Structure 1
Amino acid sequence: MIKDLEAKLGSRIITPDHEAYDEKRKVWNGAIDRKPYAIVVCDTEEDVAAAVKLATEKNLNIAIRGGGHHVAGTAVCDDGLMIDLSEMRKVEVDPEKKIAFVEGGATLADIDKATQNFELATPTGTVSETGVAGLALSGGMGYLRGKYGLTCDNIVGAHVVTSKGELLEVSETQHSDLFWAIRGGGGNFGIVTKFMFQLHKVGPAVLALDVMYDYKDAKAILLQAQEYLKQAPDEVSFNITAAELPPVPFLPEALHHKKVVMLTGMYAGEPEQGEKVIEQLRQMAEPLADHTGIIPYVELQSKLDAMVPDSVPVYGTSLYFKELDEKTIDAVLGKIDSAPAPTALVQLWALGGQMNKIPVDATPFAVRDASFILLVDMMAMGVDEKICEKWVESLYQGLLPYSHNKASYLNGIGLSENVTKTAYAVNYDRLVAVKKNYDPGNVFRFNHNIDPTK
């Protein structure tokens, strides 16, 4: 079979005996160690279509790699065909129409670099090395979420390779059912080889919030953050992170191993006007450090990269909350305090503004009324992976009763049928109908899967 693949796809095929095989099958999460039958490194949409046709012809499972950043390692499968888009990273910008044409393997950094040449941006995430495809297809939250919504909300068109290997152009007027489904429905319906994103005036310099508080003030800060959010303008998006600082040379020795609460975020408007608006976020307790200031947007977008290093085993989970009342805050802080290692990264992102003004059925992304999202990444560094995995599951189960509709953000949690159905809620049945139309055989199933047979 390998010879058949090589005959049809030539040098783009990487097999287990290839010197680049082990490097190419790696994904961001070091806990994932899967070995595909072969890897196809695609350069064009035609390569992608050919790979899909060949995989279905040979009855091989398919995994699709964009950036390879999902905690569940969905970019790679055992014994199947890994279709690798990571070389397809071209970004073209139409500044007049404010549209970015983005290939499916592009990272957030690729997009920001190209669009900021015209002082434009589209909402993405907060780690620049993330691939845009997986992020956008299942939501996409970043510092522009309050002003301009989610990444999926800003998809205005796409090229999609279907399970039959057909290349379709989709938009509101072309294959509108598929267009609706890819704006939050994940990779269930095909491989998106090109996105068209709406752009907005952003930068080149923005007001970036960056305050560090002592962890002992965490409860007071979270209570104040809930109140602040009720009157916050759409221009403000902020994240609250609890972590123990590592003993690294660029930090003062007094902060080594210090548990802290960090507030990071952005004012998506005129920086000078934003200083007064975010002042309260900088005065919620006595700061240990405050590096808030006006910086390049591209710098802000890569500021958190160091917090999520490559090749480290990671176990993650996610839940939404309607409100951070005292009981919920006590439960969250209790779980943080029980972490078995200092490498737990626990984030609460404030939600509101434009992302919550979009009707629930406008896209598959159904959680449009939560006020906070919890994102947890436990890095297994210096502690047994099983212990980390068990703690993350315990945290999820323990906080589930406090959560909003028991729903999770699919970009930040492992694979589960129940998690998938709960996230899509009222939109799930409509997604099943689209799945039956475009992928009745469930070819694209290494994801938060929508099973067309159920």
Structure 2
Amino acid sequence: MDPRTDSARAAGEAARELRDTFRGDLLLPRDQRYETARRVWNGSIDRYPGLIARCADTGDVIAALRAARRHGLEVAVRGGGHSIAGHGVADGAVTIDLSRMATVQVDADARRVTVQAGSLLSGVDRETQRHGLAVTSGFVSHTGVAGLTLGGGFGWMARKHGLACDNLRSARVVLADGSHAVAGMEDDADLLWALRGGGGNFGIVTSFEFDLHRVGPMVTTGAGLYDLDDGRKVLELFRELAAEATDETTWAASVWDVEPGSSLPQEYHGKPVVSLAFVHIGDVEHGVATGRRLRGVAQPLDETVGPVPYLEVQTSNDAAWSHGMRRYWKSHYLWELPDAAIDTFLARGTATLGGGASVAGSLLARGGAIGRTGEHDSAVGHRGALFEFMASTGWADPDEDETRRSDVRTFADRMARFGRGVYVNNLDIEGEDRVRDAYGVQKYQRLAALKARFDPDNVFHLNQNIRPATASAARLPHSATET
């Protein structure tokens, strides 16, 4: 019998079972809104869930999970739908869609915010900035809070205030058996430890409680664009600036091809340029002074420096990373940036590659509070890495799929000799070894032991999966203070 027929029948039965009490929306493939609901950020993902359960509250989440398990259906969990791997949807599965659960409640006096798991970063930033507060979030405002936080959560505030998960005080979680738990230092410190970087392996988080910090409303940004011939000098300056930066400043460098229609002179259109950029979340005057370094080694082709609203910084990458484009990237952590790595980075593996596909390279400086936070305070791996490298591309034509992905892999493979480890949120579907690389041996073993405790049947496996440890291997310390 065709397994697709079986899963469709089971999904229909699950939907019928839920309809009388489910407060949200239940969408089957025949429903009008299904086609839109199954789409995620990465346009390369084209999957057909058996049932999309758009939950209105925690009760819906529990009901959908239990129905999926009773009917033998796989469970996918969708927050913002922004992962490169598209884990929020899977063929034949029940997608537990949290997008309707997007309430954000700020306690300005306590400097805390409670965020439902379907919220996007934009919603959190808007509500917290009403009070001059913020929590570390990512670089694209239509990213989901849940996926970002559960994988770590790097953003412009991280060097000063830690990763998003470092600011997570507690979380409400639906566990694999359908029970509901609160993970916090006083309630279940082990589960909180695992949620701080362990991804969606341990349950469905329905709300997060974060600490907030004074930021904005104005911060300083700066960026310079340079001729590729000046690239080596610019990247050497980037290395120097990253080493001496205060925690309030985060530097980034990139190499990419200028798009047609750019304001740069015509001779640069379609040609590679190098960029050097920063965001300073502290004193604006200090930030403006920092921007003068952009002219330190070469004359920029274009340059902007000045104060802007924090909310504007948080949305500045949205258009470049818009929904619907086909996306692919690969990433590594770098622990240093030797001259050979700079040269490889600027060459992008084989420059602008055979089929004319444009691959961008980026380097983001880490350090600060990321590294100072205790290595064993969370599941996040490789806190001591100084840079994050990414090779990425976006395109519209499916006929370019293999060329684009191959070009990215070529670039990333040539940078791999300078790297160790990877940010779990930047993994595509790359296999168990790469997931292990994201955590390191000791953390992976502890996560596997906790997986055996909270999800022994690996119900939550449509993610960067951590397999439950065997009974003998699972006898690891359960205290969050033990290593």
Q: Do the aligned partners of 1:159 and 1:195 also contact (CA within 8 Å) in 2?
A: yes
Q: Which residue is equivalent to 1:287? A: 300
Which has the larger displacement, 196-205 or 236-245? 236-245
Q: Do the aligned partners of 2:223 and 2:294 also contact (CA within 8 Å) in 1?
A: no
Instruction: Determine the C-alpha separation between the residues in 2 that align with 1:110 and 1:293.
Output: 25
- Residues 311-344 of structure 1, C-alpha deviations (whole Å, 9 max, x = no match): 1111111001111111111222223514344542
Q: Do the aligned partners of 1:225 and 1:281 also contact (CA within 8 Å) in 2?
A: no
Q: Which residue is equivalent to 1:323? A: 336
Instruction: Determine the C-alpha separation between the residues in 1 that align with 2:377 and 2:444.
Output: 13
Where 1:160 maps in the other structure, the secondary structure is strand
- Residues 4-59 of structure 1, C-alpha deviations (whole Å, 9 max, x = no match): 42331456210000111111011111111111111000111111111111111111
**Aligned pair 1:414/2:428, yes or no?**
yes
Residue 430 (structure 1) aligned to one of 418, 429, 446 = 446
- Residues 85-117 of structure 1, C-alpha deviations (whole Å, 9 max, x = no match): 111111110001111111101111011100000
Instruction: Determine the C-alpha separation between the residues in 2 that align with 1:15 and 1:258.
Output: 47
**Cα displacement (A) at 1:125:** 0.6
- Residues 140-195 of structure 1, C-alpha deviations (whole Å, 9 max, x = no match): 11111111111111111111111111121111111110000000110100111101
What runs of 5+ residues in structure 2 fail to find an aligned partner? 1-9, 471-483
**Aligned pair 1:213/2:226, yes or no?**
yes
Residue 126 (structure 2) aligned to one of 99, 105, 113 = 113
Which has the larger displacement, 337-346 or 314-323? 337-346
Residue 18 (structure 2) aligned to one of 8, 23, 39 = 8
**Cα displacement (A) at 1:251:** 6.0
Q: Do the aligned partners of 2:76 and 2:462 also contact (CA within 8 Å) in 1?
A: yes
Q: Which residue is equivalent to 1:46? A: 59
The amino acid that maps onto 1:238 is: W
Q: Which residue is equivalent to 2:109? A: 96
Instruction: Determine the C-alpha separation between the residues in 1 that align with 2:73 and 2:278.
Output: 43
Q: Which residue is equivalent to 1:354? A: 369
Residue 418 (structure 2) aligned to one of 396, 399, 402 = 402
Where 1:292 maps in the other structure, the secondary structure is strand
Task: Specify whether residues 128 and 227 from structure 1 end up closer, same or farther in structure 2 by C-alpha distance, changes over 3 A only.
Answer: same
Aligned residues: 452
What root-mean-square deviation, in Å, do the aligned CA atoms of Structure 1 and Structure 2 show?
Answer: 1.7
Q: Percent identical across equivalent pairs? A: 35
Instruction: Determine the C-alpha separation between the residues in 2 that align with 1:228 and 1:193.
Output: 40
Residue 198 (structure 2) aligned to one of 185, 188, 193 = 185
The amino acid that maps onto 1:163 is: A
Superposition map of 1:265-414 within 5 A: 265-336=278-349, 337-339=351-353, 340-381=355-396, 384-403=400-419, 405=420, 407-414=421-428
Instruction: Determine the C-alpha separation between the residues in 1 that align with 2:367 and 2:294.
Output: 16
**Aligned pair 1:203/2:216, yes or no?**
yes
Q: Do the aligned partners of 2:333 and 2:422 also contact (CA within 8 Å) in 1?
A: yes
Q: Do the aligned partners of 2:241 and 2:251 also contact (CA within 8 Å) in 1?
A: no
The amino acid that maps onto 1:310 is: H
Which has the larger displacement, 222-231 or 189-198? 222-231
Which has the larger displacement, 162-171 or 251-260? 251-260
Residue 30 (structure 1) aligned to one of 26, 36, 43 = 43
- Residues 260-282 of structure 1, C-alpha deviations (whole Å, 9 max, x = no match): 22233311211112222343245
Instruction: Determine the C-alpha separation between the residues in 2 that align with 1:168 and 1:444.
Output: 16
The amino acid that maps onto 2:229 is: K
What runs of 5+ residues in structure 1 fail to find an aligned partner? none
**Cα displacement (A) at 1:214:** 2.1
Residue 167 (structure 2) aligned to one of 128, 131, 154 = 154
Following superposition, which runs of at least 4 residues in structure 1 exceed 4 angstroms of deviation?
249-255
Instruction: Determine the C-alpha separation between the residues in 2 that align with 1:341 and 1:23.
Output: 32
Instruction: Determine the C-alpha separation between the residues in 2 that align with 1:251 and 1:353.
Output: 35
Task: Specify whether residues 429 and 295 from structure 1 end up closer, same or farther in structure 2 by C-alpha distance, changes over 3 A only.
Answer: same
Instruction: Determine the C-alpha separation between the residues in 2 that align with 1:152 and 1:158.
Output: 11
Q: Do the aligned partners of 1:162 and 1:438 also contact (CA within 8 Å) in 2?
A: yes
Task: Specify whether residues 395 and 253 from structure 1 end up closer, same or farther in structure 2 by C-alpha distance, changes over 3 A only.
Answer: closer
Instruction: Determine the C-alpha separation between the residues in 2 that align with 1:293 and 1:365.
Output: 33
Which has the larger displacement, 247-256 or 213-222? 247-256
Instruction: Determine the C-alpha separation between the residues in 2 that align with 1:262 and 1:107.
Output: 28
Which has the larger displacement, 438-447 or 375-384? 375-384
**Aligned pair 1:137/2:150, yes or no?**
yes
- Residues 53-89 of structure 1, C-alpha deviations (whole Å, 9 max, x = no match): 1111111111111111111111111111011111111
Q: Do the aligned partners of 2:222 and 2:279 also contact (CA within 8 Å) in 1?
A: yes
**Cα displacement (A) at 1:350:** 0.8
Q: Which residue is equivalent to 2:467? A: 451
Q: Do the aligned partners of 2:357 and 2:404 also contact (CA within 8 Å) in 1?
A: no
Instruction: Determine the C-alpha separation between the residues in 2 that align with 1:124 and 1:247.
Output: 31
- Residues 405-442 of structure 1, C-alpha deviations (whole Å, 9 max, x = no match): 3x111111213201111111131111111111110000
Q: Which residue is equivalent to 2:474? A: none
Q: Do the aligned partners of 1:348 and 1:375 also contact (CA within 8 Å) in 2?
A: yes
**Cα displacement (A) at 1:308:** 1.2
Instruction: Determine the C-alpha separation between the residues in 1 that align with 2:178 and 2:165.
Output: 24
**Cα displacement (A) at 1:380:** 3.0
